[in-house]
Amino acid sequence: MSDKIVIGGVTVDTRHWIGGERVASGDTFTDHSPIDGSALGEISRGTPTEAAAAVAAAKAAFPGWAATPRAERARILHAVADGVEKRLEELAVVETTDNGALLRSHRRGVMPRVAHNFRFFADRLLTLGHEDFDTRGHTNHVSWDPAGPCVLITPWNAPLMLATWKVAPALAAGNTVVLKPAEWSPLTASLLADIAAEAGLPAGVLNVVQGYGSEIGDALTSHPDVRRISFTGSVPTARRIAASAAVNLTPLSLELGGKSPLLVFADADLDLAVELAVEQYDNAGQVCLAATRFLVEEPVAEEFTRRFVDKATALTQGDPRDEATDIGPNIHPRQLEKIDGFVRRALAAGARAVIGGHRLDGQFYAPTLLTGVAQDSEIVQEEVFGPVLTLQTFSDEEEAVRLANDTRFGLAATLVTGDRERADRVSARLVAGTVWVNCFFVRDLQAPFGGSRHSGVGREGGTWSFDFYCDLRNTVTAPKGWTDRG
């Protein structure tokens, strides 16, 4: 059996990357494309043995990388970004084939963002610092010290972008990394290992272990030599990781689910509101930040719905490699079944499908909008992670805020209004890590990112990433007591 597969003319190694070498497992798992269900190849299936080897490699490489001057670390990270940009088309083709997201999005937005992740944190590293300050004549000096080996567990919906959102600051901080990509979309993580090695990243600084979380997750997250764990994914998996990490009190960063609201007030620009609403079908609804709950003020609800239906039904669903496609497939038959189960149960409970509400051929689900849903219903309270949206109405600002905050999640919220004072009032009351006013998905790496409640623990981005990936130290020095050796 070959250790390499070819995707769109791009060769991808299917083995792990541990200590600067390719390592095969005794067993494999099959990676399928969501576009047509075809088998892309056999991927090395990690065991606790490979997990332990990866952590050992990261531990061995840590002292050298931590001692590498900041400027040199930054130079290498910029070289990784150069490698990403050089292979941007290859990365886009492989990731589209592997996870079904739009090729045009990968080319124009996602892969350029991957390179930017490395450049941003490389540059931020060079300016990282805090002014010394005085305490009764004593000098306080704050430093960010590398923490040690980090385990980074990443999701399938934006594999490389979300992986590098963690890898880049962890490496910039002087840590070493064990990256465990999602088993449904592992291929671009393997390519990242090649790019990093070509950029001069020392052996063992970045390791990639593939496989099922149920088989290797505990070996990674409970390992006593791991100093940080960052995870993006579901709440149930986060609970298991947190329990595993608790054995060693390993600090965690968790970016979890969302059930975000889109609030549309009667004074809003309805064309803008509808445009933002239709954007929630991006990536076939497989976006944690998606505003899946439409909350619309009663006087404009009928008109909003009419305009939304007109715009949503004009979307093109099909092969994500086609430039004309707006919505691609869902990632996996299991995820498709989960989505359909949510909708079928909602319809049985009395919801009405204004559009969609059913599966299509292959791994596609029709863009869906449900009305007649109760606030305490499963479809309103639980994350579907597919192209399924709900619409409820409200009568006043107080009810809008109450409905918006009435879930266990708090990842994001979107607010559309023509009244600046209302925007300030309402956004200040929304429980969310990110609030967008008259816009959606505007992201800057300088900003803190994370969720409230069950949407996560901690914040990353900007200096917040370094705060997580480092041990902060304050050194206090007395003004006297020195021996003059002049």
Which residues are the active-site residues?
Answer: 255, 288
Sequential DSSP letters for 309-346: HHHHTT--BS-TTSTT-SB---S-HHHHHHHHHHHHHH
Q: How far apart are the first and last CA of the chain?
A: 70
As to burial, measured by CB atoms within 10 angstroms (0-12 exposed, 13-18 middle, 19+ buried), residue 395 is exposed
Residue whose C-alpha is closest to residue 55's, from 245, 252, 206, 239: 206
* Residue 357: both structure tokens together: 């509400």
SS3 40: strand
Residue whose C-alpha is closest to residue 268's, from 423, 393, 391: 423
Residue whose C-alpha is closest to residue 248's, from 228, 274, 230: 228
Beta strand pairing call for 177-180 and 150-153: parallel
Sequential DSSP letters for 422-463: HHHHHHHH---SEEEES------TTS-B--SGGGEES-BSHH
Beta strand pairing call for 368-371 and 470-477: unpaired
Instruction: Say how many residues make up the chain.
Output: 486
